[in-house]
Amino acid sequence: MKLFTLLLFVVIPIIAQAQEGPYSHLVIQDGQVLFEEIYKLDSVASEDVKLRLSQYVPGIKNLVDYHLEGDVITARFSGAMIDYRKYGGKWGNTAVYLNHPFSANINIVWKEGKYKAAVTNIVFHTAGFGDVYATELLSKGKSERKWLTGKMAVQAGTYINDYLYDQFVLKENKKW
């Protein structure tokens, strides 16, 4: 009985506290939901990573305001649409805001063998509701943000997570 009580009041809260969010690449940072992923490129020098990114990133659909300065690429998504059907979603049972375009800021940095893509200020431009931030759609709380855990919110967040992840996976190019 003592062991059970110990497990109930000590171990389980520790495990519950250690749980991360429901997404592999979306995180809550400084009260904002953002996308962040480190992509690995085995045995690729920093200059080659830069070259590959500078050739690939400008061709991403709905990417605007592309700038390359030093070891940083900045850009924005404008008028982009989450292709939730690609990930198994259907029109009738998917969050309505995913049927509207979104905009977001993009920041990519790299070094030898890897690059990190971050997407911040994700805003859906909905008809009737106006601009709605992903932070408001996927998390709750004012001072300390926590993930919404309802089925619809998690499903929509998963589509956003997967879509953004796929946008920054470098595809093979015959010139490489």
Q: What are the beta bridge partners of residue 35?
A: 26, 119
SS3 state at 95: coil
Q: pLDDT tens digits, residue range 72-97?
A: 999 999 999 998 888 887 777 777 88
Distance CA 129, CA 137 (A): 12
Task: Give the C-alpha separation, 133 to 109, whole Å.
Answer: 24
pLDDT for position 7 = 40
Which pLDDT value is given to residue 175?
52
Residue with the bigger pLDDT between 11 and 119: it is 119
Q: What is the mean pLDDT of the chain?
A: 85
In this structure, of 86-95, 124-133, 139-148, the range with the lowest mean pLDDT score is: 86-95
At residue 120's C-alpha, the angle toward residues 116 and 121, to 5°, is 170
CATH class, range 22-167: alpha beta
pLDDT of residue 94: 75
Pairwise CA distance, residues 79 & 74, whole Å: 17
Contact in structure between 22 and 157 (CB atoms under 8 Å) = yes
pLDDT in tens, 165-174: 999 998 765 4
Q: What is the pLDDT of residues 25-51, one digit of tens each?
A: 999 999 999 999 999 998 889 999 999
Structure confidence at residue 157 (pLDDT): 92
- pLDDT at position 99 is 86
pLDDT score at 108: 97
Instruction: Reply yes or no on whether the pLDDT at 10 is more than 50.
Output: no
Q: Which of 81-85, 108-112, 118-122 has the lowest mean pLDDT?
A: 81-85
Q: Which residues are CB-neighbours of 125 under 8 A, at least 6 positions away?
A: 100, 101, 102, 103, 131
Q: Where are the alpha helices (DSSP H) in the chain?
A: 2-6, 12-18, 46-56, 134-138, 151-167
**Domain parsing of the chain, residue ranges:** 22-167
**Interval 135-142 mean pLDDT:** 89
Encoded tokens for 73: 């690429």
Full DSSP string of 117-161: EEEEEEEEEETTTEEEEHHHHHEE-SSS-EE--SHHHHHHHHHHH
Which of 3-7, 46-50, 117-121 holds the top average pLDDT? 117-121
State the DSSP code for 170. P
Of 141, 35, 29, give the one whose Cα is nearest residue 80.
Answer: 35
In the predicted model, is pLDDT for residue 143 greater than 90?
no
